[in-house]
Amino acid sequence: MQTMTVSAFLAYVNETFKAIWDSTEIAIEGEVSGFKISQGQWVSFDLKDADALLNVFLPIWKLQVPVQDGLRVRVFGLPRVYPKYGKFSFSAERIDLAGEGALQKALALTRQKLEQEGLFDPSRKRSLPRFPERIALIASRESAAYGDFIRIVNERWSGLEIDLYHVLVQGERAPEQIARAIQVANTPHPNPLLRKEREHDVLILTRGGGSLEELMAFNDERVVRALYASKIPTLVGIGHERDLTLAEEVADVRGSTPTDCARRLVPDRNEILYELATLQERIADDLQEKLDYWSRQADETVSMVDRWLEMIVLRSSSLERLLRSFDPRAVVKRGYAIVSDADGHPISSIKLLSPGKKMDIQLRDGEVEGVVESVGRKK
């Protein structure tokens, strides 16, 4: 007889499984139920058929296809008893979707789920700034998409600062890298003084065309959620016009292709130069109009003053004529005489005279000095 410890026995069982089970050749197919992600890194679900159930467990980075409850999958891996709890489970290495159109089905399920959560809600779409200064570009530096994007941006605009986050755009590591790049681009600069100027105005995610399998990174929930969480407005253009990935659906603005992204990002330099010229012309015209108005106003003021002066002159000359008509000298000229006393005060009444008083008499052509002989009232 032989005795074993529990630990030794389970280790023996696990070793045996490992020795007899070909984890690369044999897959277990079934329907997913109770799919769950814990702590953002562990995936577990039940794989079922009509009569049986198997608990499947794997780290999230090994999950390369969108898995949901109700999907048929093929699971590769090792059967294992977890010693601490004595629980039998299947430790998955790889999961493939099973059946016809499985990828489309999986995609539809993910889309439906995220849509219900409100990730594609049009009301939360932000618009892009008209003149971005600094952008985060997430793309593969070797891709044609990157080349096309940069070429069009250079053709159209200048002075832009582009931070390139080089990522893989297909394959199993792509989603994780892309999601991480989105997070890094969103991370504020550690120096608060530089924070504002290092902020990105737009985040762009782009790649060229490919098959549904090749574009799956852009339907990955991690990428979609990272875009959803981005504080920077997002512009996403994947593949051709006809390809619509979830990343594009969650983006604030969708570009149909990489070149379309470039066109949506920056305006055309020539259009802006034209607009600048038009603006300047408008301002100059308006100023001219104002100057004309002001000079018309000034002219009017001047001519008003002129008219006023003229009127004054006119008035004063008639006044002069009137005054002149009162001038006693004019009366003398007509044959009358002015009598005044010795001090030159005019005498208009006999009361001012008495016999012996001197008086002056002014006539048309000279003066006469005389003495009063007698004073008598008018008869």
Residue ranges in contact with other proteins by CB under 8 A = 129-131, 133-134, 136, 141, 150, 153-154, 157-166, 168, 177, 180-181, 184-185, 197-198, 269, 272-273, 276, 279-280, 282-284, 286-287, 290, 293-294
Residue 72 or 180 having the CB closest to other proteins: 180
Q: Are 348 and 359 in contact (CB under 8 A)?
A: no
- Least separation in angstroms between residue 292's CB and other proteins is 11
Q: Which is nearer to other proteins, 49 or 142 (CB)?
A: 142
Closer residue to other proteins, CB minimum distance, 92 or 266: 266
Q: List b or e across 12-49, with b for residues whose CB sees 16 or more CB atoms inside 10 angstroms.
A: eebeebeeeeebeeebbebbbeeeeeeeeeebebbbee
Nearer to other proteins, 251 or 266 (CB): 266
Residue 148 vs 249, nearer CB to other proteins: 148
**Nearest residue to 227 via CA among 209, 254, 208:** 254
Nearest approach in angstroms of CB 156 to other proteins is 10
Nearest approach in angstroms of CB 252 to other proteins is 17
Closest separation between CB of residue 92 and other proteins, Å? 24
CB nearer to other proteins: give 161 or 213: 161
Q: How far is the CB of 239 from other proteins (least distance, A)?
A: 22
- Decide: 45 and 56 in contact? Cβ < 8 Å: yes
CB of 288 to other proteins, least distance (A): 10
CA neighbor of 138 nearest in space, from 44, 241, 236? 236
Task: Give the Cα separation of 102 and 96 in Å (integer).
Answer: 9
The alpha carbon of residue 245 and the mean position of all alpha carbons in its chain are separated, in whole angstroms, by 26
Q: With CA atoms as reference, report the closest residue to 209 among 237, 173, 250, 234.
A: 237
